[in-house]
């Protein structure tokens, strides 16, 4: 099982692929992507990241974030922009 180390080392929790998919879907929705285009972005961006990190024992949220943003910047810049904007507000 993969354990995620939260930002600043302030906690640990089990890796949750659904959180990655959900955050990409929400960013795509804010970027006004169609449901079909959203599914495509989740598949092209989220699934490779999920497959990579679920094989690890420990992973930092910052590493997951960098991977997602890197793939979004290559595949869907407007979604990357919305994702960054949302994360800044949080």
pLDDT in tens, 4-13: 999 887 899 9
Mean pLDDT of 50-65: 95
Containing domain of residue 7, as a range?
Answer: 3-89
pTM of the full predicted structure?
A: 0.89
Joined tokens for residue 4? 């995620």
Average pLDDT of the residues of the chain: 93
* Confidence (pLDDT) at 90: 59
Round to whole Å and give the CA distance between 35 and 50: 21
Chain CA centroid to CA 64, Å: 7
Mean pLDDT of 32-45: 96
The number of folded domains in the chain is 1
* Confidence (pLDDT) at 84: 87
**Cβ burial, residue 82 (10 Å; 0-12/13-18/19+):** buried
**Does position 87 have pLDDT exceeding 80, yes or no?**
no
Going by C-beta distance under 8 Å and a sequence separation of 6 or more, which residues neighbour residue 15? 1, 2, 3, 4, 53, 54, 59
- Nearest to residue 21, comparing CAs of 46, 53, 54, 38? 46
């Amino acid at each position: 099982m993969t354990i995620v180390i939260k930002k600043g080392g302030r906690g640990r929790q089990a890796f949750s692929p659904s959180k990655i998919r959900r955050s990409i879907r929400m960013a795509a929705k804010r970027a006004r992507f169609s449901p079909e285009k959203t599914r495509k972005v989740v598949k092209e961006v989220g699934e490779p990241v999920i497959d990579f990190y679920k094989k690890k024992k420990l992973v930092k949220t910052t590493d997951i974030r960098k991977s997602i943003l890197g793939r979004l910047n290559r595949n869907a810049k407007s979604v990357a922009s919305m994702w960054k904007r949302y994360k800044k507000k949080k």
